[in-house]
Amino acid sequence: MDIIDILTPTRTLNDLECNSKKRALEATSEWLATVIPAFDATELFTALISREKLGSTGFGDGIALPHCRLATCDQVTGALIKLKNGIDFDAIDRKSVDIMFILLVPENATNEHLQVLSTLAGKFGEAEFRERLRACNSNEELFQAATR
> Does the pLDDT at position 21 exceed 70?
yes
Is 67 annotated in the active site?
yes
Q: Which of residues 108 and 133 earns the better pLDDT score?
A: 133
Amino acid 69: pLDDT = 87
Q: Per residue in 109-125, pLDDT tens?
A: 767 767 888 899 999 99
> Please, which pLDDT band fits residue 1 given cuts at 50, 70 and 90?
confident
What's the CA gap between 147 and 139, in Å, rounded? 12
Identify the pLDDT of residue 72: 87
Report the pLDDT value the prediction gives residue 131, as an integer from 0 to 100: 97
CB 114 within 8 Å of CB 120? no
User: What domains, with CATH codes, occur in the chain?
Assistant: 13-147 (3.40.930.10)
Residues 9, 4: Cα–Cα separation, whole Å: 10
Q: For the chain, give the mean pLDDT.
A: 94
Q: What confidence score (pLDDT) does residue 108 get?
A: 80
pLDDT tens track for 26-76: 999 999 999 999 899 999 999 999 999 999 999 999 999 999 988 888 899
pLDDT for res 113: 66
Contact 115, 105 (CB under 8 A): no
C-alpha torsion 147→111→32→45, nearest 10: -140
Q: Single out the catalytic residue among 11, 21, 67, 82.
A: 67
Range 82-96 average pLDDT: 95
